[in-house]
Amino acid sequence: MFWTAATALLSHWRCRPIQFATLVFGLSLATALWSGVQAINAEARASYARAASVLDQNALTQLVPRDGNSIPQATFANLRRAGWNISPVIEGDHRFGNVRVRLIGIDPLTTPGKVGGFEPDGSNDLAAFVSQPGVLIVSQATALKLSSHTDMQIKIAPDIPDGAAFTDIGMAERILERRGELSRLVVAPDQRPDLPALDRLAPEIAIKPPGDRPDVAQLTDSFHLNLTAFGFLAFAVGLFIVYATIGLAFEQRRATFRTLRSLGVSLSSLTLLLMTELLVLAFLAGLVGVMIGYFVASLLLPGVAATLQGLYGASVPGTLTIRPEWWATGLVVAIAGTIGSSAQSLWQVRRMPLLTAAQPRAWARARAVGIRLQLLGGLVLLITSAILAVFGHGLSTGFAVLGCLLLGAALMLPGVLSAFLALLQRQSSHALVTWFWADTRQQLPGLSLALMALLLALAANIGVGTMVSSFRLTFIGWLDQRLAAELYLTARDENEASRLRAWLPAHSTSVLPIWSVEGDVLGDRLQIFGAAANDSTYRENWPLLLGTADVWDRVAAGQGALVNEQLWRGKKLSIGNELALPGGWSVPVVGIYSDYGNPRGQVIVGIDALAAHYPNVPKLRYGVRIAPADAPALKERMTSEFGLPAENVIDQASLKRQSRAVFDQTFAVTGALNVFTLGVAGFAMFSSLLTLSGVRLPQLAPVWAMGITRRDLALLEMLRTLALWLATFVVAVPVGLGLAWVLLSIVNVEAFGWRLPMRIFPTDWLVLGLVALAAAIVSVVIPLRRLATIGPSDLLRVFANER
Amino acid sequence: MLLSLRNVSKSYTTAEGRLEILKSIDFDLDAGESVALTGESGSGKSTLLHLAGGLDHPDTGQILSVGRDIAALEDQGRAEYRRTAVGLVFQQFNLIPSLDIGANISFHARLAGRHDPGWERELVQRLGIEPLLARYPDQLSGGQQQRVAIGRTLAARPPLVLADEPTGNLDEVTGDAVLDIMLSLTRSAGAALLMVTHSSRLAQRLDRRVHLHGGKIA
């Protein structure tokens, strides 16, 4: 019996292959974008964990300096003598030519485990590792970059992250000029049970337990949350398609349900059959979706990797690994989405009385009633969004504001459009125009989900586009101010730097050292820069958000520090707060500066104070002020007289060009996701129009019979789609701007630590509008063609008495 | 002569092959005349009505209606003919669900450019649907909907009214009442009426009866 009943139910799909394809493709698309984003997140997180385990050896307990400075060699020796089984590490950034790497010096004899798949004390040549010229263990990509910039032997190990290099601790000490100062100590898993307490032996050292989340994973949380939100938005838009298609398919099969039940198929059996049918469809569509998701992720991953590198300095490989967990998650999401989308339809089947007549338009009428409820629900959500925006705090609240705003606007859309169409209908006097508006209004319930999907996609595009463009404009303005020096140079070593410091003052207007140390400030590891604050360059160009009147004088005198916006917001600092700096000194905060693109906190002190408190600060980088017309000649002289490689002397224009290129690459993935979401919304519109065109004849045939040609009817259908598109677009603009405001004023501040002014870009909206218009026209072409070429016999069937 | 069919044939392609519905039909209808078209199912009654209404076109033959050869008209011309010369009443009523009853009644007349509020008011009164004007079609009974459909047709003052089983969905009492109104109004409007019906009883009430059998006039 089951099989016979199932055959009757499944025959529906055989008669409506396009509807079947719409359902499967809609669900596949929704799953694809969701699982694609999840795949990217999983890959990135795995990469952070791998990097942390290799670079920071964070699976092991570590000993780190409490004040963020370094550990003296003597302390290490004391601990070893007391029986602690520990291994020293010296690490720091170093430039080999123009290639900057994180150099990690390890002791091959005491380091626990192997390094990135490379065992220095195993089959590899230990003698070569510890003796001149030394060995650098790096990834394949880093090896390619380094090969022409160092005499050291380069070996490739599989798990080393790009931009990092392991070497012998002696080599690292010499290259980084650390003179016996260790960065940290790695504690081996096997220790004597009767070890003397660390507090007594070395009170200046703290224990860092294993398993801490890598810093970069915490930093990038907000980015991955953004990505997940985008994936979810696309998934929700896709589910709209599924919901609409299942609803229509169930409505069209009402007569079959009634017949089956009158022939003795119980309600439970019918429900079971329908659920089985949906689950099988969901499973198949989910499989297809996960496969498409893999390709989507492969396409997006290089962009995401560039974004993560640009925003956070996080290294993620550009290729994707197939992970069973997101295959499983993708399938579960597809099935859960299908069950969620079909719950209402299944419930209606269960409540349908046996003798209810088939009502092909009943679903639309029922939804018309629902429009009023939706309007009310949407209003409640918008008010909630406003309340959360005013009184809420934190990243989660920011996303809640976003969610309520988007969902509220989407829910209100059909009601707003319905009211607007009713007004137009009342205003029109021509019969055909009156019918046009009235009929458009009647189509709303059937099209509302597609229109809501279109609104979400358009608003997301406008909102994210406004955010990115505002960011770009602010960033470029900021770059123009901040990159004031005409030339930026990097000496290859201290000797060369010393000679340049002596030579440059006579050949330039001024020389601005760009020196920095890393240290723990307010519990975070960040960079402390020195600024020649007496130089007018800073006073004239450095963009300050807040500051005392004498800010630069106080910085120059070593009596004040500037902090960047990220640190100011993150640590809730105020002007005048005392800032404890590594090395046991402190200065008051005298100013706040914007520092876009930098994920971490940063401090600027006077250059003399920096050099006095950190005498070992690397003094290799400088900004050089000179009349712009003389800059190329000076660059030429520095390369010819000092033998500096061209890439070590960068002019301002090149640096700005590089920064802009990095910025544009950074938001490439956002653009790609916008296009995908708009594509899904376009498909939602297409599928809705296509399914509606199948049930439109009873409404169109009487008008045709009264003397309106099929061509004119098709034209009116096109105008109807364009009118709805235009109305949705008009609503999407304020919603998108609201979204941009939330992103710029709430989410970005929480996620990145900086707040940007919002700029308006109407020409971008025009471009988006034209793209969406093209999508709307494409979506209506097939249904229109079907209508324009329909035979009179099909239209006459509407009037047939035996219908 | 208001309507004249000469040697009209029509066939359809079906799963079983080509099916000849009408075979060389000759038929005339005078202005103001009412004719009942009867015959068994599949005899070609509705097809003849559709051809006369310009809803479909014949394979062969000539259809002269209200002074024009509608068989020779293109899509645009046939649409104009339907808009201005013909009124159609169907068994399924085919009202426009998105418009209220008032708008439905005046819809065809407005399309035809013959909107006459006084005439519409009179029709509404005579049809007894005055209290229903603000309602929508799905809020009306079958009898009420058919009265609205008749009102819509006659409001446009077409010289030719074509009705396909207009009382087929109604009970006998309501059907009789609807037919009374339709005959009375078409006569007072001076329109000709061609009505398809299965009922001999109803057919007797019209001026003339034409019986179709096997695609030919018997």
Tens digit of pLDDT for each residue in A207-252?
Answer: 776 655 555 565 566 567 667 777 777 777 777 778 877 877 887 7
Residue, of A21 and B169, whose pLDDT is higher: A21
Residue in chain A nearest B103 by alpha carbon: A431
Mean pLDDT along residues A648-668: 74
| A360-364, A776-780, B27-31: range with highest mean pLDDT | B27-31
Q: What is the pLDDT of residue A361?
A: 44
Residue A802 pLDDT class (50, 70, 90 cuts): very low
Number of domains in chain B: 1
- Contact assignment for A801 to B94 by CB distance below 8 Å: no
Count of Cβ atoms closer than 10 Å to residue A58 Cβ = 21
B52 Cα to chain A: minimum distance (Å): 12
CB A165 within 8 A of CB A138: yes
Residues in chain B: 218
- Contact assignment for A434 to B92 by CB distance below 8 Å: no
Handedness of CA A596, A55, A658, A761 (dihedral sign): negative
The rounded distance, in Å, linking the Cα atoms of B3 and B17 is 31
Least confident residue range of A123-127, A267-271, A726-730, A781-785: A123-127
The rounded distance, in Å, linking the Cα atoms of A264 and B42 is 34
Q: Which of A696, A682, A707 is nearest to A784 (CA)?
A: A696
Mean pLDDT along residues A121-135: 67
| A62-76, A303-317, A597-611, B49-63: range with highest mean pLDDT | B49-63
Count of Cβ atoms closer than 10 Å to residue A382 Cβ = 19
Least confident residue range of A219-223, A337-341, A558-562, A720-724: A219-223
Q: What is the pLDDT of residue A734?
A: 94
B188 Cα to chain A: minimum distance (Å): 22
A226 Cα to chain B: minimum distance (Å): 43
Taking a contact as any Cβ pair under 8 Å apart, which residues of chain B between 47 and 66 contact chain A? 50, 53, 55-57
Residue A360 pLDDT class (50, 70, 90 cuts): very low
Residue B195 pLDDT class (50, 70, 90 cuts): very high
- Contact assignment for B46 to A801 by CB distance below 8 Å: yes
Taking a contact as any Cβ pair under 8 Å apart, which residues of chain A between 322 and 361 contact chain B? 361
Q: What is the pLDDT of residue A357?
A: 45
Residue A606 pLDDT class (50, 70, 90 cuts): very high
Handedness of CA A89, A94, A96, A98 (dihedral sign): positive
Q: What is the pLDDT of residue B41?
A: 85
Q: How do residues B102-117 score in pLDDT, each as one tens digit?
A: 999 998 898 888 899 9
Residues on chain A touching B168 (C-beta within 8 angstroms):
801
Inform me whether the pLDDT recorded for B130 exceeds 60: yes
Residues on chain A touching B91 (C-beta within 8 angstroms):
799, 801
Q: Looking at the complex, does the CB of residue A365 fall below 8 Å from at least one CB of chain B?
A: yes
**HSE-CB of B131 using CA atoms within 13 angstroms:** 4
Inform me whether the pLDDT recorded for A381 exceeds 90: yes
Q: Looking at the complex, does the CB of residue B197 fall below 8 Å from at least one CB of chain A?
A: no
Residue B58 pLDDT class (50, 70, 90 cuts): very high
N- to C-terminal Cα separation, chain B:
21
Residue in chain A nearest B11 by alpha carbon: A793
Q: Looking at the complex, does the CB of residue B107 fall below 8 Å from at least one CB of chain A?
A: yes
Least confident residue range of A233-242, A285-294, B75-84: A233-242
- Among A708, A711, A792, select the one facing B55 at the smallest CB separation: A792
Q: How do residues A470-488 score in pLDDT, each as one tens digit?
A: 887 887 777 777 788 888 8
**Mutate which: A697, A801, A802, vs B, most B CBs within 10 A:** A801
Q: How do residues A55-93 score in pLDDT, each as one tens digit?
A: 555 567 777 776 656 788 888 888 888 888 888 888 887
- Contact assignment for B83 to A702 by CB distance below 8 Å: no
Q: Looking at the complex, does the CB of residue A432 fall below 8 Å from at least one CB of chain B?
A: yes
Q: Looking at the complex, does the CB of residue A372 fall below 8 Å from at least one CB of chain B?
A: no
Q: What is the pLDDT of residue A223?
A: 67
Q: Looking at the complex, does the CB of residue A706 fall below 8 Å from at least one CB of chain B?
A: yes
Mean pLDDT along residues B147-152: 90
- Among A442, A710, A800, select the one facing B97 at the smallest CB separation: A442
Q: Looking at the complex, does the CB of residue B92 fall below 8 Å from at least one CB of chain A?
A: yes
- Among A432, A699, A800, select the one facing B111 at the smallest CB separation: A432
- Contact assignment for B99 to A438 by CB distance below 8 Å: yes
Residues on chain B touching A430 (C-beta within 8 angstroms):
110
Mean of per-residue pLDDT scores for chain A: 80
Residue, of B153 and A370, whose pLDDT is higher: B153
Inform me whether the pLDDT recorded for A386 exceeds 80: yes
Q: Looking at the complex, does the CB of residue A801 fall below 8 Å from at least one CB of chain B?
A: yes
Residue A517 tokens, joined: 């140390």
- Contact assignment for A798 to B76 by CB distance below 8 Å: no
Least confident residue range of A207-211, A344-348, A411-415, B148-152: A207-211
A-B contacts at Cβ under 8 angstroms: 95
What one-character DSSP code corresponds to residue A597?
T
Q: What is the pLDDT of residue B71?
A: 87
Inform me whether the pLDDT recorded for A354 exceeds 60: no
Q: Looking at the complex, does the CB of residue B14 fall below 8 Å from at least one CB of chain A?
A: no
- Contact assignment for A706 to B82 by CB distance below 8 Å: yes
CB A699 within 8 A of CB B98: yes
| Full domain range(s) for residue B116 | 3-217
Residue A803 pLDDT class (50, 70, 90 cuts): very low
Mean of per-residue pLDDT scores for chain B: 89
Q: Which of A312, A397, A360 is nearest to A798 (CA)?
A: A360
Q: Which of A43, A142, A152 is nearest to A102 (CA)?
A: A142
Residue, of A411 and B173, whose pLDDT is higher: A411
Residues on chain B touching A712 (C-beta within 8 angstroms):
79
Taking a contact as any Cβ pair under 8 Å apart, which residues of chain A between 211 and 270 contact chain B? none
Query: Going by C-beta distance under 8 Å and a sequence separation of 6 or more, which residues neighbour residue B102?
Result: B133, B134
The rounded distance, in Å, linking the Cα atoms of A458 and A75 is 61
Residue B153 is part of a domain; what is its CATH number? Answer: 3.40.50.300
What one-character DSSP code corresponds to residue B131?
G
What one-character DSSP code corresponds to residue B140?
S
Residues on chain A touching B82 (C-beta within 8 angstroms):
705-707
CB A545 within 8 A of CB A593: yes
Q: Looking at the complex, does the CB of residue A442 fall below 8 Å from at least one CB of chain B?
A: yes
Inform me whether the pLDDT recorded for A432 exceeds 80: yes
- Contact assignment for B110 to A708 by CB distance below 8 Å: no
Residue A333 pLDDT class (50, 70, 90 cuts): confident
Task: Give the residue carrying structure tokens 């020796």.
Answer: A77
Q: What is the pLDDT of residue A591?
A: 92
- Among B75, B91, B92, select the one facing A709 at the smallest CB separation: B75
Helices (H) and strands (E) in chain A, counts: 28, 21
Least confident residue range of A35-44, A275-284, B77-86: A35-44
- Contact assignment for B81 to A708 by CB distance below 8 Å: no
Query: What ipTM was reported for this prediction?
Result: 0.81
Mean pLDDT along residues A498-518: 88
Task: Give the residue carrying structure tokens 């078409």.
Answer: B186
Mean pLDDT along residues A423-432: 90
- Contact assignment for B90 to A799 by CB distance below 8 Å: yes
Residues on chain A touching B55 (C-beta within 8 angstroms):
705, 792, 795-796, 799
Sheet holding A62-65, edge to edge: A153-156, A135-138, A164-168, A99-106, A86-96, A184-187, A62-65, A205-208
Q: Which of A742, A745, A751 is nearest to A599 (CA)?
A: A751
Inform me whether the pLDDT recorded for A127 exceeds 90: no
Q: What is the pLDDT of residue A122?
A: 52
Q: How do residues A522-557 score in pLDDT, each as one tens digit?
A: 877 788 999 888 888 888 887 788 887 788 999 999
Q: Looking at the complex, does the CB of residue A797 fall below 8 Å from at least one CB of chain B?
A: no
Cis peptide before A133 (omega within 30 of 0): yes
- Contact assignment for A799 to B92 by CB distance below 8 Å: yes
- Among A435, A792, A798, select the one facing B107 at the smallest CB separation: A435
- Contact assignment for B79 to A707 by CB distance below 8 Å: yes
Residue in chain A nearest B196 by alpha carbon: A801
Q: What is the CA radius of gyration of chain A?
A: 33
- Contact assignment for A793 to B110 by CB distance below 8 Å: no
State the Cα torsion A438-A441-A447-A448 to the nearest 10°.
Answer: 180
Residues on chain B touching A438 (C-beta within 8 angstroms):
96, 98-99, 103
Q: What is the pLDDT of residue A358?
A: 45
- Contact assignment for B83 to A708 by CB distance below 8 Å: yes
CB A707 within 8 A of CB A717: no
Residue, of A624 and A233, whose pLDDT is higher: A624
- Among A434, A708, A801, select the one facing B168 at the smallest CB separation: A801
Residue, of A357 and A169, whose pLDDT is higher: A169
CB A552 within 8 A of CB A539: yes
pLDDT more than 90, % of chain A: 10
Q: Which of A359, A351, A354 is nearest to A260 (CA)?
A: A354
Q: Looking at the complex, does the CB of residue B153 fall below 8 Å from at least one CB of chain A?
A: no
- Among B41, B96, B112, select the one facing A703 at the smallest CB separation: B96
